[in-house]
Chain A
Amino acid sequence: MTIRVFTFLIFEVLLFSTCPAFTQGKRDCNTDCSCTISGLVVDASTQEPIPYATVQIKNSEKGVMTNEAGEFQIKELCEKEYDISISHLGYKSFVHHHDIYHPDLIVKLATNDMILESIVIEGSTIETGLESLTESNLSGKELESIKTESLGDVLSNITGVSTLKTGQNVVKPIIHGLHGNRVLIINNGVRHEGQGWGQEHAPEIDAAMADNIALVKGAAAVKYGPDAMGGVIIINPPKMELSTGHLHGTAGVTAASNGRSVNADLLLQQGYRNFAWMGQVSGLYQGDLRTPDYMLTNTGARELSYMFGARFHHKQLDLNLLYSHVQQTLGILRGSVVGNLEDLDIALKADEPYFTRDFSYDINNPRQEVSHDQIRLKGHYNFNDHQLDFQYGFQANTRQEYDVRRGNNNDRPAIDLELFTHTLDLDWKHAPISDWSGTIGVQWLYQDNNNIPGTNTIPFVPNYNNNRFGLYITESRPVGNLEFEVGVRYDYQSNSVAGRDADNNVYRQDLNYQSVTGLVGINTVLGKNTSFRSNFGTAWRPPNIAELYSYGKHEFTIDFGLWRHTTNEFGTPQSISDVLDQDKKPVDNELGFKWVNTFNHTLKGRSLEITAHVNYLKGYLYSKPAGIAATVRGPFPYYVFDQTDAIFFGLDASYILQHSSLWESRVQGTYLQARDISNDDVFVGIPANKIGYKLSFMKPVFGLDQFSAALETNYTFRQYLAPRVITVAEINEANLNGEDLFSEDKSSFDFLPAPNGYLLMNLNLQGTLNQFVFGVQFKNLLNASYRDYTNRLRYFADETGFNMVISARYKF
């Protein structure tokens, strides 16, 4: 039924989008030579306009100079695309393949003594195409110095992003307090689809492959579909430029003292008139990390990733093919394995994790072996005044998790899953209709998730197929000096699930979910230096497999999914051996309503940005303590998944002040509060508030072409909104006296109070000489011992201590 509807819609959209092509042709400058190329030329480092730069159409007489404001315009062209060369004395001249479909050309010229290449920005720099959504970007030098870290750690450099960790290797990003299935990651243009349901399942993405990363802080569900509750992370590969003239690339190597790791990466790319290619490889070899006082045994990591791309350009059609592969072996602290509460109590009281050994590169159990392959074909076709974008993506994700088990089972993964995902996206940017410009798109996703047999344990999650279809429209128009945006989207998802309960009996279910989401927003310029954007958007996600079907012990908790427990006559949740369904126990979608406002004020040498956000979540899925289960391992508190209404609100702020051409200060801070409205309670694991100050210095000294130093100080506060603390001793004592601390008081709890606030200092030094960039970073300069509230291993060990990272990069 849905398939028929879907095919019909595809047809509709295709017909709809191709019909106007035959009626257009008004502005076909092949006949009347009426095409124009215009743009702006600025200095890449100061962003100041460059007057009197030469802009020349290659292999022709046509050329102009930029005016005082750095602007140029070449008129009376008879073709729609050209190679243009831009040059000015003292700057690196370069050639760019340009077409008339990108009216807002900005050329950033790099000075001769800069290692940076000159770059071009075409059209909107806004990733989502939505002006009212707040975006933050990481790119260029800033990204280069950190891209050897895990993706989550890289992202945490953006205000408003923190990390949910399981040790040092498994790092998930948290945006405004939301993580996992509530954060959507768009990797190389494709929704990243992995086993995102577990807290210890980090996205299988290598940040070293990224050329730039954008973070959308709003609920951008209208354009992207489910999961974009907290925001969207957009990771872009290097752009494949045409007509580069020669082989370009970078080669880098990084070594770190903590973990004695080495990291190497290589990027090669070349562009011709109608074709460009790119190849990239990166690898990491890391041993055990250490805290200031002891080793973290079994925290080594291995990573290998590579990517190949090709771009074909043909008049109005641009095709882009990409293949990427990431594989990781991630060790998890051996001392974090506990059998029961008593073990946990011993671990909580120990000075150092048990099973601490001397440094080693070995990775034993517990460990994760994950891989992710992605093939993506995308293209766009330019009609005269509208454009069709299409994209097909295929992803294969494998995840094997090895626990400490008895005997030969150590060689078998306890979790072994394979997930295949196909995605198809079509976006049509229509020609403006009386001031309204916008995009209509359809998206289709098909998934197949399977347990690989041979784990010798009943699968933690069922097999499922997932079929999802989405249709959206976003429109914008100017209203006075406002840009007004509105959008709406409809999604339909059907899943067929087949799993095994604790008795090994098969259960089967078909689930259907649907939702309508919308957004409305404004972007306005207030005077010359100030802008304000405001966006209200809704988002949704269906419950994930863990929230519905979890059953039994996982690490040091026992969890029961929504359909694996009922409530007895005393109001206490009890697990059941059967599996419930939507009829017996309805579970609603999680709905988010997020309002984000950003105020930006930039004046010469000063820049202030403040983002205020509030997110109301209806039917927020979370796990709460429900009682004590008597097991063969002794008593355990058990948790059940439930739904409540929650509110998350906060502020991100940053202020940059240029003291002089040499010195710059940056202050940034985040404040976040989250509350369980229905139960008037707080949640466990909400990131604590942070404030940071960075002082940077930049000047060509020591005979270098350029030298920069930055001293960064960050203070993370104690999470003062942590739930009540119930110690293991209290649980055991209550259990012996026949009391249940969780049936009386259903509020959330933690075994330990939230850790104290901590101060971290980092020093970054970087120098460039000819085509080399050298860097030395000192992380945790004070070798501070601290624990982080959102690291799930904070019960067992401190965070890593001092680390010196040396890097060298060669660009050509």
Chain B
Amino acid sequence: MTILKSNYLALLLLVTIGFMSSCSDDDAPEAENEEEVINEVTLTFTPAAGGSPLSFTYNDPDGEGTAAPEQDDIVLPANTIYSMSITFKNTVGTSNEDITEEVEEEGHEHQIFFGWTGALFSSPTGLGNIGAGNQDNPVNYQDTDTEGLPIGLETVWETAEATSGTFRIMLKHQPDIKTATSSSDDGESDIDLLWNIEIQ
């Protein structure tokens, strides 16, 4: 009986000492490639007739933090045809991750919707395709996914007479949702930005 007891006490102490020695400072998690956050959106308008492209950027330096973003106002000459391309990036801290390509590769899961106020453009006409039931409203999409449905990374715009208003872009993530009839109300919003726009 006593032998049994002392054995078990010894074992207990051994176990204890064993665990004590394993207490050390923790290692930091490995650095991860942040592929979830988008904090920089650039709209590049290239005149169809040639000339230097105009770029407008939205940048939120701290990503999901509370610091205010920096956003250019869009200023475009009147009565000009532009092809617009959109790029998405994560540049928080020291990151420099281009997410545009990913969106393009996953084109069948993504669509960019556009909305604007007033007579900013002579083409497309109307006020854009944001909102349920508005998905067929005109937007000059220049790119398609594997199903032949529009994506919106490449579009064409013809500015109207001088005026000003707002321009909204929405990137929707629609895995297994995107169809010929899906609208901007379907799926999750990855981007939803409102720009001030002036046509000079």
Complex Cα gap A724–B92 (Å): 35
Q: Are B173 and A404 in contact (CB under 8 A)?
A: yes
Does chain A have a CB within 8 A of B72? no
Complex Cα gap A210–B163 (Å): 72
The distance from the CB of A28 to the nearest CB of chain B, in whole angstroms, is: 12
Q: Are B26 and A448 in contact (CB under 8 A)?
A: yes
Complex Cα gap A208–B41 (Å): 51
Q: Are A634 and B29 in contact (CB under 8 A)?
A: no
> Which residues of chain A come closer than 8 Å to B24, judged between CB atoms?
465, 496
> Which residues of chain A come closer than 8 Å to B26, judged between CB atoms?
448, 450, 463-465, 496-498
The distance from the CB of B182 to the nearest CB of chain A, in whole angstroms, is: 10
Known: A453-B32, A502-B92. A508 touches B25 (CB 8 A): yes
Q: Which of B14-22, B46-54, B118-126, B140-148 contacts A (4 or more CB under 8 A)?
A: B14-22
Total residue contacts A-B, CB cutoff 8 A: 198
Does chain B have a CB within 8 A of A59? no
Complex Cα gap A510–B103 (Å): 41
Closest to B90 in A: A632
> Which residues of chain A come closer than 8 Å to B173, judged between CB atoms?
339, 404, 406
Closest to B186 in A: A354
> Which residues of chain B come closer than 8 Å to A390, judged between CB atoms?
12
Q: Are A337 and B188 in contact (CB under 8 A)?
A: yes
Complex Cα gap A21–B22 (Å): 33
Q: Are B29 and A404 in contact (CB under 8 A)?
A: no
Please, what's the 1-or-0 string for A396-428, where 1 marks a CB less than 8 Å from any CB in chain B? 000000001111011000100000001010000
Q: Are A407 and B106 in contact (CB under 8 A)?
A: yes
Known: A337-B188, A504-B94, A574-B66. A7 touches B17 (CB 8 A): yes
Please, what's the 1-or-0 string for B17-59, where 1 marks a CB less than 8 Å from any CB in chain A? 1011011111111111111111101000000000000000010
> Which residues of chain A come closer than 8 Å to B138, judged between CB atoms?
none
Closest to A365 in B: B175
Q: Please report the total number of B residues contacting A with Cβ < 8 Å.
A: 65
Of A21, A498, A573, A574, which contacts B28 at CB under 8 A? A498
> Which residues of chain A come closer than 8 Å to B36, judged between CB atoms?
405, 409, 414, 456-457
> Which residues of chain A come closer than 8 Å to B177, judged between CB atoms?
354-355
Tell me the chain B residues, 148-200 only, with Cβ under 8 Å from chain A: 172-173, 175-177, 185-194
Please, what's the 1-or-0 string for A634-646, where 1 marks a CB less than 8 Å from any CB in chain B? 1000100000000
Of A406, A409, A458, A634, which contacts B193 at CB under 8 A? A634
> Which residues of chain B come closer than 8 Å to A459, judged between CB atoms?
29, 32
Q: Are A634 and B192 in contact (CB under 8 A)?
A: yes
Closest to A457 in B: B36
Does chain B have a CB within 8 A of A19? no
> Which residues of chain A come closer than 8 Å to B65, judged between CB atoms?
502, 551-552, 575-577, 629
Q: Are A338 and B188 in contact (CB under 8 A)?
A: yes
Q: Are A632 and B25 in contact (CB under 8 A)?
A: no
Complex Cα gap A430–B27 (Å): 43
Known: A339-B188, A502-B65, A504-B95. A316 touches B29 (CB 8 A): no
The distance from the CB of A166 to the nearest CB of chain B, in whole angstroms, is: 18
Does chain B have a CB within 8 A of A346? yes
Does chain B have a CB within 8 A of A792? no
Does chain B have a CB within 8 A of A627? yes
Of B22, B64, B94, B188, which contacts A446 at CB under 8 A? B22
> Which residues of chain B come closer than 8 Å to A381, judged between CB atoms?
5
> Which residues of chain A come closer than 8 Å to B175, judged between CB atoms?
404, 410
> Which residues of chain A come closer than 8 Å to B20, judged between CB atoms?
3, 6-7
Does chain B have a CB within 8 A of A444? yes
> Which residues of chain B come closer than 8 Å to A634, judged between CB atoms?
189, 192-194
Closest to B92 in A: A502
Q: Are A455 and B32 in contact (CB under 8 A)?
A: yes
Known: A340-B192, A405-B36. A632 touches B60 (CB 8 A): yes
Known: A14-B9, A465-B25, A498-B27. A630 touches B68 (CB 8 A): yes
The distance from the CB of A386 to the nearest CB of chain B, in whole angstroms, is: 14
Q: List 6 interface pairs A-B (beta carbons < 8 Å), by A numbering.
A: A450-B29, A500-B31, A552-B37, A632-B69, A632-B191, A634-B194
With A424-B19, A577-B62 known, 8 other A-B pairs at CB within 8 A are A342-B189, A355-B177, A381-B5, A390-B12, A406-B106, A502-B93, A632-B58, A632-B192
Complex A-B, nearest 5 residue pairs according to Cβ-Cβ distance, in ascending order: A503-B93, A339-B188, A339-B189, A552-B64, A498-B28
